[in-house]
Chains A and B, each alone.
Chain A
Amino acid sequence: MSAVYHLTLRQLTGRWRLLVLTALSAMPVAIAALMLSLDRAPSVREFEGGVIGAMFAGAIIPLVVLALAGVSFANEIEDRTLANLVLSPVPRWQIAIPKLLAALTVAGPFVAVSAAVTAHIAYVGDPVATTALTIGMLVAVALYASLFTWLGLVTTQAIGIGLLYVVIWEGLFSGFVAGVRLLSLRHYALAVVNGLDPRRFPSLALPPFPVVVALCVVAVVVFTWLTVRRLRRMDVP
């Protein structure tokens, strides 16, 4: 497993990709700092809804994760190097899980630092809110990573389809159609934040914390299982 993990880490840590991830992760911090410096700063609720809920959890994190998990298999397929891995005597889950873990390893620190600093600024150093937001956003990373890793194996258009998913499903539908929230990874992550600190996102109609934890686990397990299944059944180029 470690061979695939280390290989994927090398593939995902190109200079340009890291620069883009740094820029994306810095955006919520910059916006938080900018808003606080304004004479008429938005309320905490406005900031939560607009910057953390919509932009950070609904756009920046999925984009960061898409740039990593979405290409971890897709690049191997495009470069036709996937056969190197598949033609080895290891069970397919030992290829899929290291790929997922490598995406988490790279995306996790960017998102964690960004979430912690943003929360520290926005919640004026409140440790409970900062911890809740950091953990919730890391949960978002795990959810999106499992989805996009599978997507990268299913289609060569993973980035395009992933972007459409982020904009249409997570951005539009889950924001306006209440029932869709039960199938929205963004709302799972926000519900985790709310479960850890009930003062955060109180106005969102989110499922109870234990249900959300179960939904998160189910989502990661199902997408990982689909990835392994796909790897076993697909024709490898």
Chain B
Amino acid sequence: MSDPRAAVIRVEGVSRWYGSVVAVSDVSFDVQPGITGLLGPNGAGKTTLLRMMTGLAEVSSGRVTMFGEPVRDNPALYRRIGVMSEHETVYGFMTGRQFVTLMGELRRVPDLEQAVDRAIALVDLVDAQHRRMDTYSRGMRQRMRLAATVVHSPEVLILDEPLNGADPRQRVHFKRLLQHLAGTGCTIVLSSHILEEVEELADTVLLIVNGKLAASGGFRAIRAALDQRPYHVRIVADAPRALAAAIVGLPSVEAVQVDPDGALVVLSRQVQALQVELPRLAQREGIRLRRVEPLDDSLESVFGYLVGG
């Protein structure tokens, strides 16, 4: 009997380099059924990793297997996999229905017409199915591409930045759809550079930074690590030296520095508390705050902190 917790996808010591540039470096992880989020800033190596996981790109070293079989040069495996790349890889001269039908034909789907009907209904594009795809909005194209990706009812779905270009309503629909598919037992790997996107969807997160696996596990553990990181906040005020003297006494502040241009740079590990305390302090001291901005709130700095430990 097979182990029910056996990994659906196994990535073992995978690296990929282009000349002297290392895109992915010695990454290992297992993917189980459910939704796994591949999170990382732009250029972190997510797409390269996904391309190796789908067999589209060769690994420089290491091994990728799916259901225990090598992925590369194994076309038969694609009966069980659906892949949606980050590029809008559609044939503009086709209608949405023709595109989904073509993908179904290529995947040898039995009862093709029914499968196409089902896939298009799933993405809620029945009314637009006979329109040419070059007349679709970006979000509609993404959804029709998803229909084409699931037309053969794959056991594994690999989606590279699937929510790109979707408006808020489409995002909600897309998320519900992925949750529905995961509920049917599908193993889904999706990449994103947006924390909140992955937080809402993924049971497990793989954090990729500079081509390396920086962290993996449940989202809460990773989120907790993010919340404890120190933030730098830049404050522009009328009386910077007076504000600096007062602000250093706040429990949420660890250090204060006054820049040559008069702006304050505050280091805090409790940024949410600082958000509450700072306006009160300014009001009490009669100091006018002109600008308050986080200096390192980008994902890159978050990931940089995690990688730095």
Decide if B245 is an interface residue (CB 8 Å cutoff).
Answer: no
Residue-by-residue, is A198-237 near B (CB-CB < 8 Å gives 1, otherwise 0)?
0000000000000000000000000000000000110111
Query: Across the two chains, which residue of chain B brings its CB closest to A10?
Result: B93
Q: How far is the CA of A80 from the CA of B56 in the complex (A)?
A: 12
Decide if A39 is an interface residue (CB 8 Å cutoff).
Answer: no
The one of B81, B90, B107 that contacts A81, using a Cβ cutoff of 8 Å: B90
Given A3-B106, A89-B77, A235-B58, residue A83 in contact with residue B91 (CB < 8 A): no
Chain B residue total in the interface (Cβ 8 A): 27
**Residue pair B91, A7 in contact (C-beta under 8 Å):** yes
The one of B56, B75, B93, B102 that contacts A83, using a Cβ cutoff of 8 Å: B56
Q: How far is the CA of A206 from the CA of B103 in the complex (A)?
A: 47
Query: Across the two chains, which residue of chain B brings its CB closest to A232?
Result: B73
Contacts of A10 in B (CB 8 A): 91, 93-94
**Residue pair A89, B102 in contact (C-beta under 8 Å):** no
The one of A81, A91, A233, A235 that contacts B89, using a Cβ cutoff of 8 Å: A81
Residue-by-residue, is A71-103 near B (CB-CB < 8 Å gives 1, otherwise 0)?
000000001110111111111100000000000
Given A79-B89, A81-B89, residue A87 in contact with residue B102 (CB < 8 A): no
Contacts of A89 in B (CB 8 A): 75-79, 107-108
Decide if A154 is an interface residue (CB 8 Å cutoff).
Answer: no
Given A88-B78, A232-B73, residue A81 in contact with residue B57 (CB < 8 A): no
Decide if B216 is an interface residue (CB 8 Å cutoff).
Answer: no
Contacts of B85 in A (CB 8 A): 80, 83
Query: Across the two chains, which residue of chain A brings its CB closest to B85?
Result: A83
Decide if B105 is an interface residue (CB 8 Å cutoff).
Answer: yes
Decide if B290 is an interface residue (CB 8 Å cutoff).
Answer: no
Query: Across the two chains, which residue of chain A brings its CB closest to B80?
Result: A89
Given A87-B81, A88-B78, A89-B79, residue A80 in contact with residue B107 (CB < 8 A): no
Residue picked from B51, B105, B148, most chain A C-beta under 10 Å: B105
**Residue pair B91, A81 in contact (C-beta under 8 Å):** yes
**Residue pair A90, B75 in contact (C-beta under 8 Å):** yes
Decide if B83 is an interface residue (CB 8 Å cutoff).
Answer: yes
Contacts of A121 in B (CB 8 A): none
Q: How far is the CA of A236 from the CA of B103 in the complex (A)?
A: 17
Decide if A163 is an interface residue (CB 8 Å cutoff).
Answer: no
Decide if B54 is an interface residue (CB 8 Å cutoff).
Answer: yes
Decide if B284 is an interface residue (CB 8 Å cutoff).
Answer: no
**Residue pair A80, B75 in contact (C-beta under 8 Å):** no
Query: Across the two chains, which residue of chain A brings its CB closest to B105?
Result: A3
Decide if A35 is an interface residue (CB 8 Å cutoff).
Answer: no
On B, residues with C-beta under 8 Å from A are 51, 54, 56-58, 73, 75-79, 81, 83, 85, 87, 89-91, 93-94, 102-103, 105-108, 148
Known pairs A80-B87, A85-B106, A236-B57; list 10 more (Cβ under 8 Å).
Answer: A80-B89, A81-B89, A81-B91, A84-B102, A87-B78, A88-B103, A89-B77, A89-B108, A90-B106, A233-B58
On A, residues with C-beta under 8 Å from B are 2-4, 7, 10-11, 79-81, 83-92, 232-233, 235-237
